[in-house]
Chains A and B, each alone.
Chain A
Amino acid sequence: MRNDDDRGAPTPVADRRRALQLLLSGSAVGVAALVGWPVARYVQPAPEDEAASAVELPDDEIGLWDAKLIALRGRPVLVVNTGDGYEAISAVCTHLGCIVKWKKGRRQFFCPCHGGRFDVEGRVLGGPAPRPLARLEVEELPGRIVVRLA
């Protein structure tokens, strides 16, 4: 559509208006992105503290088929003495994150929330857990053991 006093002009008013609108909404999108990106980054989980990724224990501290709960970078880890070595298993259940307990009599990890069961190497034996418990690295040195994040 043309305006009266615009007759014959190279740029009709409607075109100019459309171009301006496009420019305006374009810059609105740009401003939104400029604000949105930093905000989105800001609310992202902050990186975790990298400290203490190994824990040392004296090797006479855990009895045969007993377990000890230790903290490895703030995460609960169960260390079990199997007689011919040690297993270090993350105690966070792979189902909904409850903390599993070690049942010495059955030699199994048991989850109090929905009854997940795992063997001493963390493999699922029963219950709703979708994945085995995470296994950590254990290094046996003379007189002590070192548990490390794999």
Chain B
Amino acid sequence: MSGAAGWLDRRTGWRDFFRRHFTEARLPVGSDSWLSLGWVLVFAFALQIATGMLLLLYFVPAPEQAFESVGRIMSEVPYGWFVRLIHSHAANWMVLGLFVHLFHTALSGSYKAPRELTWITGCLLLLMVLGMALSGYILPWSQLSYWATTVVTASFRYVPFVGQELVEWVRGGELVGAPTFRRAFMAHVALLPAGLALVLVFHLALARRAGPAPPPVRGRTSSGTAPGAGIPFHPRFVLKHGIQIVLFLMLVFATVFFAPHLFSPLESFLAADPFDTPPNVKPEWYLLWAYQLPRMVPERLSLVLQGVAVTGLFALPFLDRGPARHPLDRPAATAAVLLALVALVVLTVLGYLA
């Protein structure tokens, strides 16, 4: 080994690390398409960091100027519309991808020993990405940003004991206002990206340590592949993942070019006005279920249901502990996951139509 790469390698051992964990890591066949989704999500996170940093060059992080600066990004900055639309569209597709990734893991029983911590870090990632999407939503400071934030933060009031304090703490004051904006900005560009990167490293390291779960087989309980078996990561998996990343980009570009307003209802074109609530404020699609639920059951009950759902999500590997992985070999767990999925979809559709 010679040259700069060799010099670096003798001091860091990166070649060996790279070979062991990437190019020559052996993975079982069969699960690659689903596995790719995970890498699509890693790519999407990187894309958000890149476009987010570009937005920061023109975005003015103060409530009186944010809306106007976003307008300038859209109409004056060369390709500003492109950067901004990629950031907001990819964010939405990323959330959808996360839900699919999660439900696939749940239905294929891949959260079982020894992968419980991979599942838990994954749930944390989901919550943090939802936090990213929510805090990002506030930043353009439009009517939609303002009122969706008002309603979402106000619903923390139903948290037992500390509800009212929590609402004011999150808002940084009694009503949504400049302190809320600054908190959201801090969370969106500093706290959450750093936290996400950290949890993501753990998630990936844990996933690699256990190896990918092979596709479940009826009546069998295999949870891993024999060491040394399987196909090297490079080139097969690199290509497979690459293809899905390209498909993801095609989806993002398709909506950016052909449906640029897909994720922006009318109220997102009006500057925030704390004195005028527009009719029909609704949160974004991934929160419609939480918006719809309290409209159908008493508010306290809906809070309890949400608490149970989130706790159940994190605790899934400890509730369904048997070795069986095929969905038909563990009907109770499968039924519970399917029920959650159906409830989520139905509530979302009802919330959309409401």
Contact = CB atoms under 8 A, between A and B. Distances in A.
Interface of A: 43-46, 48, 69, 71, 74-76, 91-92, 95-99, 111-114, 128
15 contacts: A45-B168, A45-B179, A46-B179, A48-B173, A74-B274, A76-B275, A91-B275, A96-B150, A97-B151, A99-B274, A99-B277, A111-B277, A112-B280, A113-B151, A113-B277
A21 to B, nearest CB: 28
A96 B277 contact: no
A98 B155 CA distance: 12
A97 B278 contact: no
A69 B168 CA distance: 24
Interface residues of B, number: 25
A128 B155 CA distance: 12
B271 to A, nearest CB: 15
Given A97-B151, A114-B295, A76 B274 contact: yes
A113 B179 CA distance: 23
B195 to A, nearest CB: 16
B239 interface: no
Contacts of B128: none
Contacts of A97: 150-151, 154, 175-176
Interface of B: 147, 150-151, 154-155, 168-169, 171-177, 179, 274-281, 295, 299
Contact of A96 (B151, B179, B279): B151
A38 to B, nearest CB: 16
Nearest to B171: A45
Contacts of A99: 274-277
Q: Is the interface of B mostly helix, strand, loop or mixed?
A: loop
A114 B150 CA distance: 13
Contacts of A128: 299
A78 B157 CA distance: 24
A11 to B, nearest CB: 42
Contacts of B173: 45-46, 48
B151 A71 contact: no
A46 B172 contact: yes
A112 B276 CA distance: 10
Given A76-B274, A97-B150, A99-B277, A45 B172 contact: yes
Contact of A112 (B150, B172, B176, B279): B279
Contacts of B176: 97
Nearest to A100: B277
Contacts of A95: 154
A74 B278 contact: no
A98 B295 CA distance: 16
A69 B275 CA distance: 8
A91 B150 CA distance: 14
A96 B169 contact: no
Contacts of B150: 96-98
Contacts of A43: 169
Contacts of B299: 128
Contact of A44 (B151, B155, B169): B169
B175 A113 contact: no
Give 4 nearest A-B pairs by CB, closest first.
A96-B154, A98-B277, A99-B277, A97-B154
Nearest to A77: B275
Contact of A71 (B179, B275, B280): B275
Contacts of A114: 295
A112 B281 CA distance: 8
Given A95-B154, A114-B295, 18 more contacts: A45-B173, A46-B173, A74-B175, A74-B177, A91-B275, A96-B151, A96-B155, A97-B175, A97-B176, A98-B150, A98-B151, A98-B277, A99-B275, A99-B276, A112-B278, A112-B281, A113-B147, A113-B151
